[in-house]
């Protein structure tokens, strides 16, 4: 929604300069006439990446339904672990049966050279695109937290807070294993190879309500 900060002051100026008896309708028309040159209507999407994501969704997921988005995926942990990357997402909340959407959709994607590239739960390697280099257990904690947040498709982390410090990391000959325990037999994990590539992720966290 556009906020026209100058509007109240324009009305006051018009009131002062309008002779007694002028109609309110004429007053408002005059006020908006003054505003028009200074506040042109802007396109809805200022972010070309978001526009590309919308178009891709319409073409690849016709009839998709979601409760959030399409929108920028903004999360400090993710931004720290994926430096310089811009992510976009849609999120459908958990529902009963039947769901309110015919095709409920939750996914996160990035844009590269104008192409929309989604993160795929079936492909652990897809979460390694643009991910920070991992050289220590602390790096593995941050990277695992970011991967888990992206996999949840929920930038607000409303179901669980994936604080990097909550991940326990074990260094092994083949890389790092980072595990997050929620309690109540729920846990998530992310495995990285020695070069820091994501080779496995999984978990049993409940969905976003």
Measured between alpha carbons, how far is 154 from 85 in angstroms, rounded to an integer? 17
16 membership: H or E segment, kind and range: helix 7-17
140: its two tokens: 């593995």
Residue 41, pLDDT score? 39
Q: Residue 170: is its pLDDT beyond 70?
A: yes
Residue 85, pLDDT score? 94
4 membership: H or E segment, kind and range: none
Measured between alpha carbons, how far is 102 from 120 in angstroms, rounded to an integer? 21
| DSSP codes of every residue in 48-88 | HHHHHHHHHHHHHSTTEE-SEEEEE---HHHHHHSTT--EE
Residue 20, pLDDT score? 45
44 or 156, higher pLDDT:
156
184: its two tokens: 């109540």
Q: Name 14's Cβ contacts closer than 8 Å, sequence gap at least 6.
A: 27, 30, 31, 34
Average pLDDT over residues 164-172: 94
Beta strands in the chain (DSSP E): 64-65, 68-72, 87-91, 103-104, 107-112, 115-118, 168-172, 175-183, 186-193, 198-203
Report pLDDT digits (tens) over 14-57: 333 334 444 433 332 333 333 334 333 344 558 999 999 999 99
Residue 205, pLDDT score? 65
Flag the least confident range among 1-15, 102-116, 143-157: 1-15
Instruction: Report the percentage of the chain scoring pLDDT > 90.
Output: 60
Backbone φ and ψ for 188, nearest 5 degrees, come out as: -130, 155
Average pLDDT over residues 62-89: 96
58 or 45, higher pLDDT:
58
Report pLDDT digits (tens) over 109-131: 999 988 999 999 899 999 999 99
């Amino acid at each position: 929604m556009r906020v026209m900060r100058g509007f109240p002051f324009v009305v006051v100026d018009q009131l002062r300069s309008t002779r007694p008896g002028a109609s309110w309708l004429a007053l408002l028309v005059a006020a908006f006439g003054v505003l028009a040159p200074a506040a042109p209507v802007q396109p809805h999407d200022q972010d070309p990446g978001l526009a590309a994501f919308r178009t891709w969704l319409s073409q690849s997921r016709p009839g998709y339904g979601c409760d959030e988005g399409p929108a920028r995926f903004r999360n400090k942990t993710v931004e720290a672990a994926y430096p310089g990357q811009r992510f976009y997402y849609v999120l459908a909340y958990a529902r009963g049966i039947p769901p309110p959407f015919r095709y409920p959709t939750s996914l996160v994607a990035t844009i590269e050279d104008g192409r929309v590239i989604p993160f795929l739960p079936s492909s652990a390697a897809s979460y390694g695109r643009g991910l920070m280099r991992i050289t220590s257990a602390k790096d593995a904690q941050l990277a695992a937290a970011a991967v888990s947040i992206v996999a949840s498709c929920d930038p607000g982390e409303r179901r669980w807070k994936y604080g990097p410090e909550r991940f326990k990391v074990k260094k092994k000959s083949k890389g790092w294993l980072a595990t997050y325990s929620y309690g109540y037999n729920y846990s998530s994990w992310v495995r990285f190879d020695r070069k820091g590539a994501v080779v496995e992720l999984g978990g049993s966290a409940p969905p976003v309500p």
